[in-house]
Amino acid sequence: MSPRSEDPIVLEIVNRIRSTQLGRRQLLRGGAAGAALLGAGALSACAGPSGPGDGSGGNLRWANWTYYLDYDEETGANPSLDEFMAQTNITVEYFEDIDDNKTFIAKIKDQLKLEQDTGYDVFCLTDSSLVRLFEQDQLQKFDRSLLPNVDGQMIDMVQHATFDPDRQSSIPYQAGMTGLCYNAQLYPQGIESVDDLWRPDLKGKVNLLSEQDDTLALVMLQQGVDITGDWGDDEFYAALDVVEKQLRSGQVFNVKGNSYTQDLQKGDVLAGMCWSGDIAMLNEEEGEEVWKFVVPEAGAALFIDSFCMPVATESAKQVHELINYYYEPEVAAQVAEYVQYVTPVKGTREAMETVNPELANNTLIFPDEDMSSRIYDMRSLTSEEDNRYAQAFQKVLGN
């Protein structure tokens, strides 16, 4: 973990602006909070049942986001995970312990630094946060020879990360897009660009995201910035000026993370920034396409949540088996049907024709060529940039 995380004031600032991951997984799936955040020395006991299999294949402990794996509400089981255990006789303890990246990392940071057992053998974190662990050599490298499905099945969009170009320490689990959305019933004229959010008839009806990277990425793309490249202070602060201007003018109704979808549902917000999976789930619950998701011509931002292993694990072999299993297209389709994010596995669309044909043409799960060409992975920030930009963003938000 980088030195910045030792400063409680800075950590609090960063936690507040990064905590939006909870809204991406949890808000629309029953409203129950995930496992409580505990101290590093008292890891959560909220693991799922051991499931089928006799355990003769070993065991592993997997931490993930709430509602980020296929789930059967009638039986309380995770069908794909149960099938994995039955096939391999590996016992998996599954923890829904990740509410947001920074607080999860803070919980295990001491064990990571000392290369001690964190209580988990594999966890799924967002690439933008994994960079700090990667810098400190706190992640174990994968043996790609044990992941034949990964080498053959990973889609082009997620194959490379700026901090881990060859995906040696991070294997994508799910991905998604930060783009725009609007209420097609209440605002049928629609929007196509970030600049459209500043229309006079939308004053007080626009939302922005409290996730700094996502909001500023969309504004920078609108300003013609290559967010994957060598941008710096000039580009960041030019985008921040736009956000500050729109906040002060009253154009923006609110800046939220966890609960922005509630403003969409109530009609308080007619257009704004959003995450692709949320819009897919909102429309599924409504039974019709009330909200339109838009990838602006200037581009949308990509986020990727990846499997990674701490250095201290005795279950590396079992972790490799788990990841390889989830790169089978039929299994990936089963997961994608439930979570409705971009699956990283090639062939999943064809498999979805059998699992749920209605979702096979959903571009929020399977972006087409045109959409994919306008999705960009924002470059990783240095620790110094991360601290400074976070404080500047919070100041503009009035925090």
Report pLDDT digits (tens) over 352-363: 999 999 999 998
Amino acid at 125: L
> What pLDDT, on a 0 to 100 scale, did the predictor assign at position 38?
36
7: enclosing H helix or E strand: none
CA distance 267 to 278: 16
CA distance 165 to 294: 28
**Other CB atoms within 10 A of residue 309 CB:** 23
Two tokens at 41?
């020395």
Is the pLDDT at 217 greater than 80? The verdict is yes
How many angstroms separate the Cα of 271 from the Cα of each of 239, 263, 282, 294?
A: 19, 10, 14, 10
Closest CA to 375 of 320, 300, 307: 300
Q: pLDDT for 277-293, tens place per residue?
A: 888 878 888 889 999 99
Closest CA to 16 of 209, 177, 176, 278: 209
**What SS3 string covers 56-116?**
CCEEEEEEEECCCCCCECCCCECHHHHHHHHHHCEEEEEEEEECCHHHHHHHHHHHHHHCC
Task: For strands 300-310 and 122-126, give the pairing.
Answer: antiparallel
Q: pLDDT for 321-362, tens place per residue?
A: 999 999 999 999 999 999 888 999 999 999 999 999 999 999
- The residues, ordered by sequence, that sit 6+ positions from 295 with a Cβ below 8 Å of its Cβ are 177, 179, 180, 371, 374, 375
* pTM of the complete model: 0.77
CA distance 120 to 234: 40
Q: pLDDT for 259-272, tens place per residue?
A: 788 999 999 999 99
CA distance 71 to 67: 8
CA distance 328 to 83: 13
Query: Where are the chain's structural domains?
Result: 3-173+307-357, 176-301+381-396
CA distance 383 to 333: 36
- The residues, ordered by sequence, that sit 6+ positions from 279 with a Cβ below 8 Å of its Cβ are 181, 291, 292, 293, 364
The answer as to CATH 3.40.50.300 being correct for domain 176-301+381-396 is no
Task: For strands 122-126 and 58-65, give the pairing.
Answer: parallel
- The residues, ordered by sequence, that sit 6+ positions from 200 with a Cβ below 8 Å of its Cβ are none
Amino acid at 345: V
| Overall average pLDDT of the 122-137 stretch | 90
- The residues, ordered by sequence, that sit 6+ positions from 259 with a Cβ below 8 Å of its Cβ are 23, 27
Comparing 3-173+307-357 with 176-301+381-396, is the CATH topology the same? yes
CA distance 286 to 266: 13
Work out the mean pLDDT of the chain and round it to a whole number.
86
How many angstroms separate the Cα of 106 from the Cα of each of 15, 132, 251?
A: 10, 12, 36
Two tokens at 381?
């920030």
154 band by pLDDT with thresholds 50, 70 and 90 = very high
258 band by pLDDT with thresholds 50, 70 and 90 = low
Beta carbons of 383 and 4 less than 8 angstroms apart = yes
Residues of the chain with pLDDT > 90, as a percent, come to: 64
Amino acid at 6: E
CA distance 45 to 192: 46
Top-level class of domain 3-173+307-357: alpha beta
How many angstroms separate the Cα of 338 from the Cα of each of 176, 190, 261, 300, 335?
A: 14, 28, 18, 23, 5
